């Protein structure tokens, strides 16, 4: 293995509370899907407030390989799908292993060209992350899926037809897959047990702008009436509520005070409740250039019990940054991860720094979930407060990586954090933001 490059290592001189103001742009987990949705239109689309992050670059490359012209207009992307074409398999495979977004090309490519080729999928290392719900749904629409050496090849010999679907779990990606396929399938699709995350609702709004007919019923039921053509969209995505919560947790863990411009209360209500219950303070500014100020009001933080869940529950991506703050709370905190089976591995690094976190296979502190029976280590007990000390850390995935960074900022002494390029996948200009908040970091 080649030694890590100096650019991929950040030396963090911890112990300084973060103070200041940063801004979040469009949500990574909407922007990447919106870019794929542009494939469905017969006109150019405009997406505003696009963050400069690696995941956006990967989707941009993939779109360009498929003949979409992508241009920049300030922080907007203009996506022109007039000449959509198949990409050479070896070109798509350059991105194999780096993103899970290609799976969402299936429906749009089948509609546009009758065929889709999808490389092996990557994304974060958080459990096996299967795509069985996606493939099952595509088959029900009439797609034929062939596994080849290069990945998956899909065709739709009789076109794509609306269908009745019931997801085994309200998967975000599978719901997006169904939306992006059903909007132009012939007839009506009824999707039960759909994900209803704010990013999904925003995708629905964007598709509606393109001409789609989508109804969100109560109880996770979405009905989509297929239409023969879609136009372009002009859309400003919802703000990144994962990035906002990450900086909020960093403010709390370091005893600081951070205003996150662009953050919106409505997308973060569950996070805000937990933030307050552990002793954090926040103030919402609803003005057009507003945001949310998050700070540590002094005194001791309080332990809590929380369970990650699908929306409107506590997001799985909020878990890792907040746990760092929980190492500073008095008492025993319990975290039950119910969305991913292996998303607590990062706690070993926190223990190495002085935290006391024990992980369990049982469903602790909440209702039994699908992982308890399957013997996955998915609950954690955090005993605090613990003094954190600087250490050498290697980042395993995006969100765990940001939690490592927060721990290094909260710790006394110097930490060397390796693999920081992974953070660029989802956090725009994070080093400049750290500098703006007064953090002492260098390469
Ligand atoms: C999206 O992943 C996000 N990624 C994740 O954020 C986020 O953690 C997750 O939704 C949950 O909110 C993007 O939007 C790019 P899922 P996704 O399908 O769509 C199981 C980040 O760091 N499942 O809702 O892949 C799956 O294994 C990333 O920004 C199947 O079993 O998540 C998991 O246990 C990390 N079969 C659960 O469903 C399937 O076919 C939820 O996954 C699909 C999913």
Residues whose beta carbon lies within 6 Å of some atom of ligand 1: 28-29, 32, 100, 124, 127, 129-134, 169, 171-174, 195, 316-317, 339-340, 398-399, 426
310 CA distance to ligand 1 middle (Å): 10
pTM score of the predicted model: 0.96
What confidence score (pLDDT) does residue 122 get?
A: 59
Choose between 52 and 91: higher pLDDT.
52
Q: What is the pLDDT of residue 147?
A: 87
- Cα 108 vs. chain centroid, distance in angstroms? 21
Q: Which of 24-33, 68-77, 160-169, 174-183 has the lowest mean pLDDT?
A: 68-77
Residue 243 DSSP SS3 = helix
CA 225–ligand 1 middle distance (angstroms): 25
The H-or-E segment that residue 442 falls in is strand 440-442
Q: Mean pLDDT over residues 122-140, rounded?
A: 81
Determine the average pLDDT of the residues in 61-67. Answer: 94
Q: Per-residue pLDDT averaged across 267-289, rounded?
A: 97
Going by C-alpha positions, the residue among 79, 95, 98 that lies closest to residue 35 is 79
Pairing state between β 69-73 and 164-166 = unpaired
Closest atom of ligand 1 relative to the 100 alpha carbon: 15
pLDDT above 70 for 279: yes
Task: Tell how far the Cα of 311 is from the centroid of ligand 1, in angstroms.
Answer: 12
Per-residue pLDDT at 128 exceeds 90: no
pLDDT tens, 393-426?
999 899 999 999 999 999 999 999 999 999 999 9
Distances (CA, A) of 314 to 64, 88, 241, 335: 36, 41, 12, 11
Residue 195 CA: which ligand 1 atom is closest?
24
Nearest-Å Rg of the Cα atoms of the chain is 22
Q: How far is the CA of 402 from the centre of ligand 1 (A)?
A: 18
- Mean pLDDT in residue range 209-237: 98
The token pair at 301 is 């933080």
Contact between 283 and 291 under an 8 Å Cβ cutoff? The reply is: no
Q: In a 10 Å sphere around its CB, with 0-12 CB exposed, 13-18 middle and 19+ buried, how is residue 216 labelled?
A: middle
Nearest to 296 by CA among 265, 253, 329, 260: 253
pLDDT for 81-92, tens place per residue?
A: 999 998 887 777
- Bridge partners of 416, per DSSP, are 11, 392
Rounded Cα gap, residues 310 and 338, in angstroms: 9
Report, as residue numbers or ranges, the catalytic residues: 124
Which band of pLDDT confidence, cut at 50, 70 and 90, is reported for residue 1? very low
Do 193 and 165 contact (CB within 8 A), yes or no? no
Ligand 1 atom with the shortest distance to the CA of 129: 27
User: Residue 335 in contact with residue 417, Cβ under 8 Å?
Assistant: no
Report the percent of the chain where pLDDT is more than 70: 96
Q: Which of 100, 128, 171 to mutate to test the pocket of ligand 1 (most atoms within 8 A of CB)?
A: 171
Q: Where are the beta strands (DSSP E) in 134-273?
A: 144-148, 151-155, 164-166, 188-192, 213-216, 222-225, 234-235, 257-261
111: pLDDT strictly greater than 80 = yes
- 171 CA distance to ligand 1 middle (Å): 6
Convert the pLDDT of each residue in 293-302 to its tens digit. Answer: 999 999 999 9
Instruction: Give the pLDDT of residue 75.
Output: 80
pLDDT-derived band at 356 (thresholds 50, 70, 90) equals: very high
By most ligand atoms within 8 Å of CB, the mutation choice from 98, 339, 374 for ligand 1 is: 339
Q: What angle do CA 45, 54, 106 make, to 5 degrees?
A: 55
73: which strand partners?
Answer: 76
Catalogue the E-assigned strands of 102-225: 115-118, 144-148, 151-155, 164-166, 188-192, 213-216, 222-225
């Amino acid at each position: 293995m080649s030694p890590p490059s100096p650019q991929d290592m950040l030396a963090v001189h911890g112990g300084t509370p973060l103070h200041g103001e940063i801004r979040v742009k469009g949500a990574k987990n909407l922007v990447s899907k919106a870019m794929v949705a542009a494939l469905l239109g017969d006109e150019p689309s405009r997406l505003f407030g696009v963050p400069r992050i690696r995941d956006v670059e990967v989707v941009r490359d993939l779109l360009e390989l498929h003949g979409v012209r992508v241009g920049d207009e300030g922080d907007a992307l203009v996506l022109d799908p007039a000449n959509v074409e198949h990409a050479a398999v070896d070109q798509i495979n350059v991105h194999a292993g780096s993103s899970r977004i290609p799976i969402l090309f299936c429906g749009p490519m089948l509609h546009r060209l009758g065929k889709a080729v999808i490389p092996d999928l990557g994304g974060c290392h958080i459990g096996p992350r299967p795509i069985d719900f996606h493939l099952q749904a595509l088959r029900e629409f009439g797609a034929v899926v062939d596994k080849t050496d290069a990945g998956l090849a899909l065709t739709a010999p009789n076109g794509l037809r609306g269908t009745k679907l019931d997801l085994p779990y309200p998967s975000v990606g599978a719901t997006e897959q169904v939306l992006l396929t059903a909007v132009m399938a012939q007839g009506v699709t009824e999707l039960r047990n759909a994900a209803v995350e704010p990013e999904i609702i925003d995708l629905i709004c964007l598709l509606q702008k393109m001409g789609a007919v989508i109804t969100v019923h109560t109880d996770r039921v979405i009905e989509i009436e297929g239409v023969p053509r879609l136009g372009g969209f002009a859309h400003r995505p919802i703000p990144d509520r994962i990035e906002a919560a990450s900086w909020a947790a960093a403010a709390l863990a370091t005893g600081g005070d951070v205003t996150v411009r662009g953050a919106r209360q409505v997308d973060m209500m569950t996070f805000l409740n937990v933030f307050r219950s552990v002793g954090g303070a926040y103030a919402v500014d609803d003005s057009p250039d507003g945001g949310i100020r998050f700070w540590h009001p002094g005194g001791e933080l309080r332990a809590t019990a929380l369970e990650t869940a699908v929306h409107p529950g506590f997001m799985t991506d909020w878990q890792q940054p907040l746990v760092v703050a929980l190492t500073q709370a008095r008492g025993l905190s319990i975290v039950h991860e119910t969305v991913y089976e292996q998303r607590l591995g990062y706690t070993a690094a926190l223990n190495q720094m002085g935290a006391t976190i024990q992980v369990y296979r049982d469903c602790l502190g909440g209702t039994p979930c699908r992982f308890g029976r399957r013997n996955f280590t998915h609950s954690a007990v955090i005993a605090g407060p613990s003094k954190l000390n600087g250490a050498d850390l290697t980042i395993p995935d995006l969100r765990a990586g940001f939690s490592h960074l927060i721990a290094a900022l909260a710790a006394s002494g110097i930490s060397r954090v390796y693999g920081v390029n992974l953070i660029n996948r989802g956090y725009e200009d994070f080093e400049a933001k750290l500098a703006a908040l007064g953090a002492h970091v260098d390469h």
